[in-house]
Chains A and B, each alone.
Chain A
């Protein structure tokens, strides 16, 4: 059996975690530390920043400097850390509500600045922590405690949003495709600029039970059957897309990174120049 070298990245004394049996958050958390290991990031120069939600509790289990911020605000805090000390590697963990509802403005502006952060969105398409209210990523007609007749709010595609706002790297994966997810995150870490990875995770408790899929294994099979690799997706006839969704890397565009741009401001100011 392969050695579980990633275990050293967890605070063993903080485990077991608070997540429900079958929750997908642990899979995504493990993928992040494996990506950190793959990229050989120095642990003491790597900071994990999260918002508020079930997903954002991950920071407490990870043995780095970790920051559990306020709901929606992980990206501004992370921006401050990175600007204050550009040699640090900053990874943000956020939920679909945290990132695209209350934190939506910070999300697009982080991407616009193209600051060197790796943002991993754990997308369970629901507000897990508060017991199953609809999020801006809840699919149309799916049920939530605040959408008892099915949601009529059109959902965001967070990947399209990140790309349109100026991110350097945009990808999606799922908890079923563990190795793929790890690779997507690892490439995001390598990217110098705003890297965004949406990873679909199952929430059997707050989402599955309300939407006739209470079994976590069933939810993962749904991911297996409906996620389509980008290359295949691009060749797929429209009528077959229906409930399916693409995964893979959607966007790579190396633009000027923000802390680098600001270091030029410092040079200019110190030369007393205009």
Chain B
């Protein structure tokens, strides 16, 4: 499902730029191709241009430059109501003066569908989101999660091939959100529709998507499946933004056979995997995931690199332990360990030795 070529792309952004005020670019040179049936998530901090991209795709904003294609056809000049794209809004946008059934019938009505067929489809769509008995109610009489499901059903009832969702779960509590993530994924997979999903919750992005596009500053920083994104971030923004991350700063000494020797700012030398450093003398940020750091010498893999550390804080979190260390001058270095029977609980002030595999430690841009 990953990395379709431009040829068989269902949705294609080609060199798209967008500016609202004619002074700053909110979207800068966006290139993105989304395959049919793919679940693609746009993830990024607030103001990074995710909604703007979605709105350009839906037709509510026009691209200042570049072209957007849907199933091979340029859609820049097609008005929103002719694009046939389903959309779930952040605040659901259920029409308050219509009942749930009327809300769902609306897209069918404007397509001049007959009454019996309409009722049939509305019923099927409501059943799909397990809201079959709520057709007669008004949106205000539903809970947030129920409204969310209705909004989903309404975006799907006219059988669009592409559905856009702009932070559809933003207003729900954690438990309901997790439940709905699963529901949306199940329904989307079941219908085989293409979904473009916007969120700034990274867990949501990682658990639901086929691919995630990480946005920052109007640009896609990395476009990759969740596991690649997490384990092989291509730059320090992605490494910081996705999951928890430890950073050590230093200078590249030499690069040999795919191994970079980095001198950390306190003088220690470590081996890393060079990702976007190219020559000696460059400053770099070395990134290591907290769960890839080992504090138990007995468990260290052969070839692991070791460093001295001082325990600053120990937090018991039930399933895991979270230990904050001072490593190479960085006091925010975190290590996560599984609550296993042989795992020791550290005391603040302890001097220990930690280690990791050079392949888990990535030298990124400074």
**A and B form one complex:** no
Residues of chain A whose beta carbon lies under 8 Å from any beta carbon of chain B? none
Residues of chain B whose beta carbon lies under 8 Å from any beta carbon of chain A? none
